[in-house]
Amino acid sequence: MNTSTRTEQVFLILTALVDRPRHGYGIVQEVARLSDGQMKLKVGTLYGALDRLTGEGLLAPDRDEIEGGRLRRYYRLTEQGAAALAEDAERLASHAALATRRLRERGIPLPGKLGTAGGAA
């Protein structure tokens, strides 16, 4: 998948797997936590994305476990996935810094952390 076509959902799915492998529901919970509840992944969207990302080599199945009588497949971020995430993070940070600078130049107030001296520049 071309870097410019990865969605915010995919970015957050990859981010959710940086620290450890997770199963589908664990990914949904971590994405919600990382996005302060703003991103609520639907199961169909998640598993479609997991299949795509696995096919692209960005994720790999880690293990299967039975939990509460249900089979849970855990996914992990691959080295290729970590590199793609790092590239996306750099690109998005650069774009955010550009937008923030241009908004400040225009005198448009920025909300929250962006509006403080310690925010993105």
Q: Where are the beta strands (DSSP E) in the chain?
A: 22-23, 59-67, 70-77
- Which pLDDT does position 4 carry in this prediction? 54
Domains detected in the chain: 3-115 (1.10.10.10)
Is residue 40 a contact partner of residue 114, using CB atoms and an 8 Å limit?
no
- Which pLDDT does position 56 carry in this prediction? 97
**pLDDT (tens digit, 0 to 9) for every residue of the chain, 121 residues total?**
455 579 999 999 999 999 999 999 999 999 999 999 999 999 999 999 999 999 999 999 999 999 899 999 999 999 999 999 999 999 999 999 999 999 999 999 888 766 555 444 4
What's the pTM value of the predicted model, to 2 decimals? 0.84
